[in-house]
Structure 1
């Protein structure tokens, strides 16, 4: 059975929180995100990774590929993504942030409408704080492609913000 080096294992463990947020941004659902994270970690532990691989980049690639596999499976089964569900520990009280919750829901819906390529690039850079070069390496595309995808995603989000559904 393949194994990870100690440094790869430590890097992977340190990245789990960010990787979980990435899973959530892909799936739009806490339950699906947790499943995707589990699948990602299982694949890495089961199949290992090259000794010279960057554990963080490798984990994001495995996660992205696992999500693509899931989308293909859903398409075959003709299932649709679940509506985003709040964890009880994440749900703000209605009195404190009803307006913020509506805005977050509108943003989440807008991001979900983006093409997958734009959503992945935007999530890696804007949410996870990866550099354009890191995002390009994770998604295995040129840096210019990342920059273009993010620019188109931001432009589309700005257009959506001007629609009545946003309010």
Structure 2
């Protein structure tokens, strides 16, 4: 089976066909351009020998192989889940001074470090602004429990904030 070296000067004649094939594979103009470029980088990186089928067949096979490699690489990468939007009440306002933002973030971290029962009551009353009876209804606990957890949670926050 006779082979001949790939002549880089002949690739330009096949670019339209390669772009159309890449567009059909990716269904995106930008992804198709990237695919063709990736394939050309690999093909032109070192001397290649093409078979009797010719340059067009060789380039289209290289394009197909590059596309499959990209799909396999994409499948191996972990899928990222979209982040849930943050509750605006739980983050430092963007227009605040940097020192205020830092203090707010530290306070949020300290609230997060509280035991779950105290954290829920602090979040309901002090962050969300619910009244004691509303917090008791939402959390399904007696109002006296809301007041005692709120007192203990605030005391922990105060001592942690004073120590920092």
User: What TM-score, normalized to structure 2?
Assistant: 0.43
Structure with larger RCO (C-alpha < 8 A, sep 6+): 1
Rg (Cα) greater in structure: 2
Q: TM-score, normalised by structure 1?
A: 0.42
